[in-house]
Amino acid sequence: MAGNSYREDKEEMRELLKQFENLRTGRQHSFLEEESFERIIDYFDEKDELLKAMEAADLGIEQFPFSSVLMIKKADLLLAGRKYWDALEILEKAELYDSNDINLFILKTDAYLALDQQNKAVELLEAALLQFEGEERIELLFELADVYDDYEEFDKVFDCLKLILEEDPTNEEALYKICFWTDFTGRNEESITLHLQIIEDFPYSELAWFNLGAAYQGLKLYEKAIDAYLYAVTIDEKFDYAYRNMGDAYLRLRKFKEAIEVLEKVLELSRPEDVIYEAIGHCYHKLGNFAQARFNYRKASHLNPEDSKLYYKMALTYINEEQWESAVKQLDSAMRIHRSLPEYNLAMGECKMQLRLFKEAIQFFGNVVRTRPKSIAGWEALIRCLFKAEFFGEAIEQCLAAIKITEGKSLFIFYHSACLFAMKRSKEALLQLEKAITKSPRQVKKFIDLYPAVLQNQQVVDLIARYKKSKSQ
């Protein structure tokens, strides 16, 4: 039956085109109805034959000079040809014959926007909103939202979508769009109020539950967000974005096992994504399951091999397991993509130092210090490496440089003291230690970690004990 109908339509269209051709060439032809001209214009328009479409519109208007529909179709063609003023002129004429056609307002809006007359477009649409109801009013509100979006009046976009949902609470397009604009404008409280009302009237709207969860998430109310997402996935168990957002909320709450469970559900429901595998890897990393973390980071890197941070994260799992050579391989991959990132150089330096390749380690730590001269971590790692390599003179130079550039951080005074002790310059070392311990007693542990043998020095033990005693009194 459908096939027969299609063939009949095709035959009818062929006959209309034949009659139109006879009309335009002055040959004998049957009378063409107004609706026939509409169909012929649409046919040529769909075929991108705009000149023929325009000719059909002109001939149609010649036959039916009071047809607002044909005038509107001609205006649409003029807009496609960038003849904006001509389009506005014919639309004004069409309005005299029928001012209740919504297409008049939509095409006028397009013309005003093309002429960069946003104010006129807004005035026109706002006036039209008073004239239309129901679906047509909603269509105009979407049009107005697009105008505000184009001109970056983003709060007004939110206002338009809110009005649509107050009139049509189950409008899917508005529900999808308002979720984005809530996040973009930060109007989470209003979104919560709106969606709670929608849910009260339509409790099985999974999109309303999802938007409610997203608004709670925007306010960092993660427990409430999770509750809302759970309702969304109860209504639609294949709602992958709800599982995705729920996974993020569980991550924020440091509930890593729950996050893994819902993120794995995302992988079941949608195409594999590197960000999901990376998030699962992060959860396993936090749980101390480094093998599973690596497995997921590696899956992410297969999907996005140019993302250097995935190799870096794999390296960190090996560092946590003290598998230094395996970590180096991953860091090599990361640094082939981004060589100069300080965190990569810091991690590589740590691996090289643990492998007792001190000169290479010093080079990587030096890169960190040059890139981020105020980074405490970079200076600390460099000095620690120099100390372990027994380059005490160079270590002292770097301590003094670090003290200067970090405006006297006590950690580097402690390290300066440790270097002096290692060089048997005990008198100077004790002065520096007393200065450091007075300034920041909590850093003593790092001093001892750097040079445990210093506790064999009775003067050091006495100084630390004396300071602790004076603090307790």
Across 314-332, average pLDDT: 98
**Structural Rg of the chain based on CA atoms:** 36
Average of per-residue pLDDT values in the chain: 89
Task: Pick the closest to residue 241 from 253, 231, 229 (CA basis).
Answer: 229
| Non-local CB neighbours of 452 within 8 Å, separated by 6+ positions | none
Residue 1 has pLDDT above 50, yes or no: no
Task: Pick the closest to residue 383 from 373, 371, 374, 396 (CA basis).
Answer: 396
Per-residue pLDDT tens for 206-235? 999 999 999 999 999 999 999 999 999 999
| Non-local CB neighbours of 188 within 8 Å, separated by 6+ positions | 182, 215, 216, 218, 219
pLDDT band at 421 (very low <50, low <70, confident <90, very high): very high
Dihedral sign from CA coordinates of 201, 202, 203, 206: negative
pLDDT band at 308 (very low <50, low <70, confident <90, very high): very high
Per-residue pLDDT tens for 354-385? 999 999 999 999 999 999 999 899 999 999 99
* pTM value > 0.85: no
Measure Cα distances from 299 to 280, 282, 314 in Å.
10, 13, 11
Per-residue pLDDT tens for 179-216? 999 999 999 999 999 999 999 999 999 999 999 999 99
pLDDT band at 2 (very low <50, low <70, confident <90, very high): very low
Q: What is residue 79's predicted lDDT score, i.e. its pLDDT?
A: 77
Q: What is residue 324's predicted lDDT score, i.e. its pLDDT?
A: 98
